[in-house]
Structure formats: C-alpha cells, structure tokens
Amino acid sequence: MKRSHPIIGVLPLALIVAAGACNLSDGPEAAEIVVNSLADLASPPAGTITLRSAIAAAGARDTIIFDESLDGGTILLTVVGEEHSVLKGEVYVNNVFSGYQERDYGRSALYARKNLTIDAAELPHGITVRWGGGDTSRARVLAVYGDLTMRNVSILSGYSEAVAIAGGTQPYTLARGGGLAVWGKATLTGCTIAGNTCFGESGSARDRGTYGGGIYADDLDLVDCVISGNRAIAYGAGGGGIYSVGGGANSGGRGNDTSLRGCTVSGNRTTAQHAYGGGIFTLSGGPSNLATMFLTNCTIARNAVEDHPDFPQAGQWYTRGGGVYMGGGSLEVSACTIAENTVTGVPAIFSGRPNLGGGGVAATIGNAHTVENASVRNSVVVGNTLNGEPEDWFAGSILNFYSQGYNLAGTIDFRYILVPVPDWLMSSRKRWPKGGDMDGVGLHEALDVAGARRHPAVLSAGTDAGQPAVLWYPPAALATDKVPNQDYAVTYVMAGYTGFGQPTDDFLNHVILQLRAQYGAILGADFGSEFGDMTGTTWYGPAVTWPSNPQNAAWISFWRNLDIAIGDRLGMAILGDDFWATFSSGPIGNVRLTIGSQTRSFRMESADQLGNSRPRGAMGDIGAIEK
C-alpha cells in the first residue's frame, strides 16, 4: 500500500502521546496512526493501538487508518468516553433565535475536540464501530467538535438521549446525532450510518429539539453512503436519518452548501408531536444564513414521519416531509429517486395552514424559517403518501419551484407557494411542467419495485420496519430511455408590472380576462365573474416583508381563491410559466407589463448512483439508477 505520510504503527501509546506533544502534526508531514486492535481500551498494552487511543493521540492533521488484519472487523464500544460532550447548538432567548453557543450534548462513546480523520478505505470490507450498550446504557457513537473526515466506516447502534442536568440554564442534554454529532464539516465517503437512535424530551422546548437519528452535522458532504434504519423520537424531532444545519453559525448571511451524492437514505423514522423529515431535515444555513442542499444520484425511500402515540393532540402538532423536509434555504434534486416515503398524523389547520404535508418532500410554511427555491431535474418522485393518499411534493411557502426537465412525479401541491410579486418579476413561481416532465405518475409506472435491491445486513425502521433496508430501485418503463444524451434548454418566464400600490391598479381584471381568452373552453366563458371588479386590489410591498403587511391581505386572498376556482382543470401547477407566457410586454389597462424569459441549459448526470455511465443506451433514464 502506497503511503505519503509517516506511519505510527505498533508503537507504545506513550510514544504516540509524546509525538503529539512535540507537535508531530505541525511538522512538514502529518502522520498516520495504525489501529491494530478491535478492543475498546483507552490505555492499551504496549504495542497495541485501539481506535480510542488513536483518537486521543491524533493531531488535527493526522489520519487514523487500520491494519489489514482488521478488515471487516467490528469495534464494539463499551466505554463512555465523555459524559458531557460539548458542541455548538442554537439558542433562543424569549423564544427569539439568538445564534449558536456551546451546549451539552450528553454521552458519547468517542469524543474529539479537534479535526479528525478516520480512514478505512484500504480495507476491502471496511471497519464497523458499534455502540455496545444498547437500550440500557445509552451513548452516541462519536461526537466531533471540529471537522470529521471518514471513509469506509460503519457507525451502528448509537443512542443519544436527553438526560436531566442539575443546575445551569440547560435542563437536559441535547439528544442529537445518535450515530454521529459533528459541529464542523462531516465529509463521509462509502460509510454506513445505521440503527442509531435519538430519544429526546417529552416536553416542548424551542432550542432543545431532537435532531438527526443517524447524523447531526453543521456542514455535510456525503458520497456513496447508506443512512438507514435510524430513528428520532421526542416531543419535537427532525431528521430521522440526517439533520443538516448547513453552516448555521457562519457570518455574512451565507451558510454552507451541503451535498449528498450517490447515497441511499432509506428506512428511517421520525416520531414526535412536532415531527419533520423522516429521511432528511435540511435547515440550509439556519434562520440567518441561507444555503442550498444538493441531492444527486440518491435514493430516498421508505422513510416515515408520524405522530408520537404517547402525546395527546393538544395545542398544535405538525407532521411533514416523509423523505425530505426543507426547514430553510434551497434544495436542488438531480437524478434522484424519492419513493414510498410516508407521513401519517391527525390533520388540522393552524393559522390558516395545514399541519401535515409532503409524503416525499415538504417545505416549511410560515415565519419560523426562510425557504427560497426548490429545483428538480431528471428525477422520480412517486409513490409517497400522506395518510395513505398520494402526496409526493408539498411546495410550502418557497419562492420558486423550478423543473429542470425530464422528471416523473405523482402529485405536487403548490397551494401555499408565495403568490406573485410584480416588483421582482416573480409573477410566475411554479415552473412546472417543462420538457420531458410528467405528473400523475404511478409508482409502478416509474419504478420496478419488485426488483428493488436491499441491504444484506441493515434493517429498516421506516415503512417496512424490520425488513432489509431498500438501497435502490431499477427504473420501469416510463423512466427508461427518456433523457437526451446532450445539452437541452429550459426556458423560464419572468413577469411583472408597474402601477401596483395604486387605487387605479386593474391588473387582476386582466388576469381574469386572459384566463377566459386562453382557457375559456375549459373554464367557461364567464370564468371569474364571481370576483367582480378587482380594481384597487393591488400589491403594496415592502419588498422583503410584504407577506406580513396587512395591506397585502386582499392581494394574497385573490390568488388563493383563484387557485381554488380553477381547481385541477389546468394541471397541477394551475397557473405556471405557460400562462404567464401568453402576456406581452407593454401597457394594459392602467398598468404596464414586463414579460421576459431566461433560458438555461442542462445535461443528465454523467454516471448513476452505482457509478454506471449515463446513458447506457441512446437516451438516459430518469431517476438514480441507469438500467
């Protein structure tokens, strides 16, 4: 095996520590520390190096590797290395977000307050690190206050729990990251995070949510990983598989873009009265810093979000995002399969908004967080349900939903996407459908469910709990040979007008007239007559906070009622780019229109989730797998 670093192999631990004291990692070359034992000992005998002792000795630039004799072995952790693991977390003062501070995350079997690299890439079968305490002695597997880089490692059976703390301002430890909790960047390649649990508080606490049954991280970059069979359970919980903050503590109003490539997130579960994201919860930067999560060539399947059966339906309760929940920022989905995820709960309306949504993907509604855009390209989003009924994508209150072409979807719920804002040329927000898109697609039309490949060892905690976790689905007929093997163009319409904010604004009258002219054969020649004369119903602004300005209530109400009046007669988007493209720039009534367009080029991903080249025929397949 070729090595570019000095090797610390079968040296006594005292020498490793001494080397660290001499700033070995600060020299011209970092070191490799070779673990040669599966034992869980902090002070092993001379000549023996355990993972625990290697982590203690490693400098921030060192790499922990494994002797080839340990290939496929399991390190069974039995020692709680840190009773009070310290990482950063959000803080609320009088229910107002006040940034990120150091918090007590409770028990961790392994804890590092430094950058850490654990590399089993040279082992054909990798290495497994498992917490051995089970349900009776609970601890997460690993917490890192710094950056974590890990390759070909499985993290199993961790259990992070909210435990009462005597005195102080934090009454309970934070139950976050049952397998991994990282305040820094978690860069994982070829890793499996499975069978981990977060068990949180039974009461409501805005800054003590239970997050990330498998992984909780501030920043995230996963490649070829499996996140399956993890659970998050509490009064308030998010991210049964993954919770990604996305650079929450960054300054300058920008978080960190996060990424999953070639990954499977399947068979995870979130159970709570406030339950979000069975597979993934992405905050994408947090309340103050906006970023994007990129999902590329991923399968997100059979994750579940559900009410907690032990909590009565009192006050308010929410259940959203069976596969993915957007708590903030933006989401870009390319060549993914999002299927058979579920949301179950007791439906209710709170502040005029539904408490349930998005069997497959859901974005937030309201003022708790800020969501921006969602885009989807060459992806299959089908077979996801809300209380047993089709519900694949719930757009929430995002700014824009962009199709980038060649997608298969079951249902997309646009009812609560932000209404047109003429000042931003954002009259059109629902950029669906585009070339190659189909909606109303059934599960078996898009995916060969019977041919799904399952994990040989990891068990699901999701919709098929107890069964081997799904890894991926082959495409079925509707998804096969559909994407061009070349660049293709997608055009978006930019529409706005001047003259808003005035009592003479009569733009909404012209919207009704345009609907009659373009779609009268479907809607009726007198469609919209019940609205009467809409002159003076206008958009006032201000630009950033306009939804909370009561002057805009009549404007918002018109667009919501218009969607209801149209129903499903004009397709899932109701009024998308196709409608706004029928207008022309220039004066109309008492206002002046500006209608433009933006054309972008896209191309299929060069390889699929398994690393197979795309396309394998003349055309590429839609979804994570190329047939």
Start-to-end Cα distance in the chain: 35
Residue 477 phi, psi (nearest 5): -55, -45
Query: So what's the pLDDT on residue 368?
Result: 57
Instruction: Answer yes or no: is pLDDT of 6 > 80.
Output: no
How many Å apart are CA 520 and CA 14, to the nearest integer? 84
Cα three-residue angle 106-108-111, rounded to 5 degrees: 115
Instruction: Answer yes or no: is pLDDT of 339 > 90.
Output: yes
Residue at 461 is within a domain: no
Percent residues over pLDDT 70 in the chain: 95
**503 token code pair:** 């009592």
The mean pLDDT value of the chain amounts to 93
Give the DSSP H or E segment for 20. helix 13-21
- pLDDT tens readout for residues 102-134: 999 999 999 999 999 999 999 999 999 999 998
Answer with the residue of higher pLDDT: 30 or 291.
291
Residue at 566 is within a domain: yes
Amino acid identity of residue 569, one-letter, is R
Cα three-residue angle 619-623-624, rounded to 5 degrees: 110
Count of domains in the chain?
2
Supply the DSSP symbol for 546: G
267 Rama sector, left if φ>0, alpha if ψ -120 to 50, beta otherwise: left
Domain boundary among 48, 70, 92: 70
Chain CA centroid to CA 86, Å: 25
Residue at 54 is within a domain: yes
Unique residue bearing structure tokens 């997130």 = 265
How many Å apart are CA 409 and CA 446, to the nearest integer? 9
Q: What is the mean pLDDT of residues 400-405?
A: 97
Q: What is the mean pLDDT of residues 185-203?
A: 96
Residue 497 phi, psi (nearest 5): -155, 160
Chain CA centroid to CA 305, Å: 14
Amino acid identity of residue 452, one-letter, is A
Unique residue bearing structure tokens 């907690």 = 308
**404 confidence band (pLDDT: 50, 70, 90):** very high
DSSP, collapsed to helix, strand or coil, labels residue 356 as: strand
How many Å apart are CA 191 and CA 154, to the nearest integer? 5
Supply the DSSP symbol for 554: H
Amino acid identity of residue 567, one-letter, is G
Residue at 79 is within a domain: no
Residue at 564 is within a domain: yes
Domain boundary among 51, 70, 89: 70
Percent residues over pLDDT 90 in the chain: 84
For 21, residues 6+ apart whose C-beta sits below 8 A from its C-beta are: none
**516 token code pair:** 């009659």
Amino acid identity of residue 491, one-letter, is T
Query: b/e per residue, 438-456, with b = 16+ CB within 10 A?
Result: bbebebebbbbbeebebbe
Q: Are 288 and 326 in contact (CB under 8 A)?
A: no
Q: Are 57 and 32 in contact (CB under 8 A)?
A: no
Q: Which domain, by its residues, includes 37?
A: 1-70
How many Å apart are CA 104 and CA 84, to the nearest integer? 6
**7 confidence band (pLDDT: 50, 70, 90):** very low
Supply the DSSP symbol for 463: T
Amino acid identity of residue 508, one-letter, is L
Amino acid identity of residue 56, one-letter, is A
**540 confidence band (pLDDT: 50, 70, 90):** very high
- pLDDT tens readout for residues 585-612: 999 999 999 999 999 999 999 999 999 9
Q: Are 206 and 92 in contact (CB under 8 A)?
A: yes
Domain boundary among 22, 42, 70: 70
Write the DSSP string, 82-107. Answer: BSS-EEEEEEEETTEEEEEEEEE---
The number of beta carbons lying within 10 Å of the beta carbon of residue 133 is 18
Task: Please choose, from the candidates 357, 425, 417, 424, the residue with its C-alpha nearest in 3D space to the C-alpha of residue 393.
Answer: 357
Instruction: Answer yes or no: is pLDDT of 251 > 80.
Output: no
Q: Are 589 and 484 in contact (CB under 8 A)?
A: no
How many Å apart are CA 249 and CA 139, to the nearest integer? 26
How many Å apart are CA 6 and CA 592, to the nearest integer? 71
Query: So what's the pLDDT on residue 8?
Result: 45
Supply the DSSP symbol for 479: G
Q: Are 279 and 265 in contact (CB under 8 A)?
A: yes
Instruction: Answer yes or no: is pLDDT of 385 > 90.
Output: yes
**Beta partners for 601?**
489
Residue at 380 is within a domain: no
Query: So what's the pLDDT on residue 370?
Result: 78
Residue 19 phi, psi (nearest 5): -60, -40
Alpha-carbon distance values, 275 to 172, 292, 350, 353, 460 (Å): 19, 22, 15, 16, 19
Supply the DSSP symbol for 9: -
Residue at 20 is within a domain: yes
Residue at 567 is within a domain: yes
Cα radius of gyration rounded to whole Å, the chain: 26
